[in-house]
């Protein structure tokens, strides 16, 4: 598997995660109350997989190589993607910070949870689309095979830091999230 295939595969798991979030959002809007554990798992997935495992590779490996190869010509676009990553982190923190009030039935905290979740879903769906259809093709066209091999090596080092089972463990989290919604 090459570096783009790895990131695309990871996007697939993130999309599945977003589908679970969207279902939880729909349930909340219809007066159902997904369990707190669902949202705790969502925060854990977002922080562990999306941010540390996936976005780290994009920000500190892929984007850096691509920006260097483009000689500064795409710096603004790279900064925009990094900004979106940061906005996502803020939305996840807002979800985490609303959970105590949500669990107690506080309508304001429930609204904060819903708003943060909706913004996060919309942001990441758009973000993934841009990466898949603009940035990843640009990487394919711009980086030499040697540079792509170096990116892959750096990805493998990062994967080892996270643990061999990081992807599988996070996949299980997403499956568990779906189960929590089905068994409400």
pLDDT for the residue numbered 32 = 94
Helices (H), the chain: 3-29, 36-45, 56-57, 63-69, 75-103, 107-130, 136-142, 145-162, 166-182
Fold of 3-182: 1.20.120
pLDDT for the residue numbered 165 = 86
What's the whole-number average pLDDT of the chain?
93
pTM: 0.93
Residues 4-37 pLDDT 10s: 999 999 999 999 999 999 999 999 999 999 999 9
Structural domain spans, the chain? 3-182
115 SS3 class: helix
pLDDT for the residue numbered 39 = 98
């Amino acid at each position: 598997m090459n570096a783009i295939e790895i990131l695309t595969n990871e996007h697939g798991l993130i999309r599945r995660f977003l589908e679970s979030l969207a279902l939880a959002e729909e349930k909340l809007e219809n007066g159902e109350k997904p369990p707190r554990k669902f949202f705790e798992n969502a925060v854990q997935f977002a922080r562990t997989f999306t941010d540390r495992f996936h976005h780290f590779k994009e920000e500190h490996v892929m984007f850096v190589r691509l920006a260097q190869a483009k000689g500064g010509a795409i710096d603004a676009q790279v900064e925009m993607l990094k900004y979106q990553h940061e906005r996502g982190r803020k939305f996840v923190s807002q979800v985490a910070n609303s959970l105590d009030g949500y669990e107690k039935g506080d309508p304001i905290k429930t609204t904060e949870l819903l708003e943060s979740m909706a913004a996060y879903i919309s942001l990441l769906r758009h973000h993934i689309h841009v990466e898949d259809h603009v940035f990843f093709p640009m990487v394919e066209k711009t980086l030499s095979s040697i540079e792509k091999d170096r990116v892959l090596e750096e990805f493998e080092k990062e994967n080892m830091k996270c643990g061999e089972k990081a992807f599988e463990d996070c996949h299980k989290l997403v499956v568990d999230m779906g189960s929590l919604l089905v068994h409400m």
